[in-house]
Chain A
Amino acid sequence: MNAKWIGASAGRVASVLCLLALLLPALAFASDRVPKPVIDIANPGKCVEDTALMRREHPDLLKHQRDLTMHEGIRTKKYSLKACVQCHASKTTGSVLGEKGFCQSCHAYASVQIDCFNCHEAKPKPASGGNP
């Protein structure tokens, strides 16, 4: 087996994987057997970025903001977790967690742990104000 052949086959496998990765979510959503996440937006309006970008990039945006806030004391609201919770908390439970919570329902569907709320509060702060 020569190196060229390995390279070519690796390329083929990668392209198949890419295709699968693109198709799978579509297939999953198409199937009725798979329970879909509840995307219930309590306060419909404009998020800080496009929905597509938010879906893909929100962990990175949050992580970037977290380091700025923690280490430099920059407390802009745009990408802060507190601002997310403020807007996305359910009107019934008051939280982003719970079976139908904005964060948890999707994370449960995608099988990705959310560690944020081991430390951060999942309910918005009462109206008294303050910084994110």
Chain B
Amino acid sequence: MSENANDGLSRRGFLAISAATLGGVMLAPGIRLIEIAGARAPDEPASKNVRWGLLIDTNKCTPGCDDCVKACATENGLKSTGHPRTEPQWIRKVEVKDTRSGRGNSVPVMCQHCEHPPCVDVCPTGASFKRDDGIVLVDRHICIGCRYCIMACPYKARSIVFQAITGQNADVPRGNGCAEGCTLCVHRVDRNEQPACVEACTRAGHNAMVFGDLNDPQSEIAQRVAKYASTHIRADLELNPGVRYQGL
């Protein structure tokens, strides 16, 4: 399927092509337009060669700071329903403490975008699925709201919507009776932007979150994962999540 003939070489398309050409070129020693070089055209499907991931440095994550949570709510149109106990929660801050040493960590937890997602295993309709680039999503067109995925997820990352919703963000359709969770801001990723939480964290100067392609050895996230010790939550489950934590 292609765009109209007029749109054949739109401004964005042109920019993407020029960026892709430029991206391979070293701008200065050690600096490459890596992010833009990986840019995908709107008519190009998500690639199997990409594995989107997040690296969260818990040493830089301040207890009590909820910039990422707020940014997520704004970006995805998560509004308060007046029933806090049943409100969908895409990302939450968890405070953990080692009881022996007293060392504490503040950890943002969202869908961990597993390589072997239990939510996909249990979904009776195929609504819960993993995209080729590793992003785990709910196809609400198929979701019957059975809540199996909510029970299966070891990270408590899925919620169900109990109320009819109006005034959604046009990029993030969501509605009553469907399971949902962090989408890694797939609508932003598809236009070569970073997830809202990462952007907010960086903008506020915390720099606790890095987003990128774990499969691209040139990407910042892959280099940091290769250099510094990082771990998964519940690594014992061997689900190989795309979200990694440093300093836990």
- Chain A residue contacts of B165, Cβ below 8 A: 119
In the complex, the answer to whether B2 meets A131 with C-beta atoms within 8 Å is no
In the complex, the answer to whether B42 meets A121 with C-beta atoms within 8 Å is no
Interface residues of B in 29-66 (CB under 8 A from A): 40, 42-46
In the complex, the answer to whether B4 meets A131 with C-beta atoms within 8 Å is no
Known: A66-B141, A73-B190, A75-B190. A125 touches B171 (CB 8 A): yes
Query: A48 — nearest CB in chain B belongs to which residue?
Result: B4
Give the contact stretch, choosing among B20-28, B116-124, B131-139, B200-208.
B131-139
A27 to B167 CA separation, bound complex (whole angstroms): 39
Mask, A114-132, CB within 8 Å of B = 1, is: 0000111101110000110
Q: B125 an interface residue at 8 Å Cβ cutoff? A: no
In the complex, the answer to whether B1 meets A68 with C-beta atoms within 8 Å is yes
- Select which of A119, A124, A131 is within 8 A of B178 by beta carbon: A119
Interface residues of A in 18-41 (CB under 8 A from B): none
In the complex, the answer to whether B186 meets A73 with C-beta atoms within 8 Å is yes
In the complex, how many residues of chain A place their beta carbon closer than 8 angstroms to a beta carbon of chain B?
26
Q: A56 an interface residue at 8 Å Cβ cutoff? A: no
In the complex, how many residues of chain B place their beta carbon closer than 8 angstroms to a beta carbon of chain A?
35
- Chain B residue contacts of A121, Cβ below 8 A: 167-170, 173
Dominant secondary structure at the B interface: loop
In the complex, the answer to whether B1 meets A131 with C-beta atoms within 8 Å is no
In the complex, the answer to whether A130 meets B191 with C-beta atoms within 8 Å is yes
Known: A119-B173, A121-B169, A124-B170. A76 touches B3 (CB 8 A): yes
A73 to B131 CA separation, bound complex (whole angstroms): 8
In the complex, the answer to whether B164 meets A118 with C-beta atoms within 8 Å is yes
Minimum CB–CB distance from B222 to chain A (whole Å) comes to: 21
Q: A107 an interface residue at 8 Å Cβ cutoff? A: no
- Chain A residue contacts of B186, Cβ below 8 A: 73
In the complex, the answer to whether A118 meets B175 with C-beta atoms within 8 Å is yes
A121 to B77 CA separation, bound complex (whole angstroms): 11
- Chain B residue contacts of A66, Cβ below 8 A: 141
Minimum CB–CB distance from A64 to chain B (whole Å) comes to: 8
- Chain B residue contacts of A119, Cβ below 8 A: 140, 165, 168, 173-175, 178
In the complex, the answer to whether A72 meets B46 with C-beta atoms within 8 Å is yes
- Chain A residue contacts of B43, Cβ below 8 A: 74, 76
- Chain B residue contacts of A68, Cβ below 8 A: 1, 45
Q: A58 an interface residue at 8 Å Cβ cutoff? A: no
Q: B176 an interface residue at 8 Å Cβ cutoff? A: yes
Q: B129 an interface residue at 8 Å Cβ cutoff? A: yes
Q: A52 an interface residue at 8 Å Cβ cutoff? A: no
In the complex, the answer to whether B42 meets A74 with C-beta atoms within 8 Å is yes
Minimum CB–CB distance from B42 to chain A (whole Å) comes to: 5
- Select which of B3, B45, B46 is within 8 A of A78 by beta carbon: B3
Point out residues on A near B: beta carbons under 8 Å.
Answer: 48, 65-68, 70-79, 82, 85, 118-121, 123-125, 130-131
Contacts A/B (CB < 8 Å), 17 sampled: A70-B141, A72-B45, A72-B132, A73-B132, A73-B186, A74-B44, A74-B45, A77-B7, A78-B1, A79-B1, A118-B176, A119-B173, A119-B174, A121-B170, A130-B170, A131-B171, A131-B191
Point out residues on B near A: beta carbons under 8 Å.
Answer: 1-4, 7, 40, 42-46, 129, 131-133, 137, 139-141, 164-165, 167-171, 173-176, 178, 186-187, 190-191
List of 4 A-B pairs having minimum Cβ-Cβ separation, nearest first: A119-B175, A72-B45, A73-B46, A125-B170
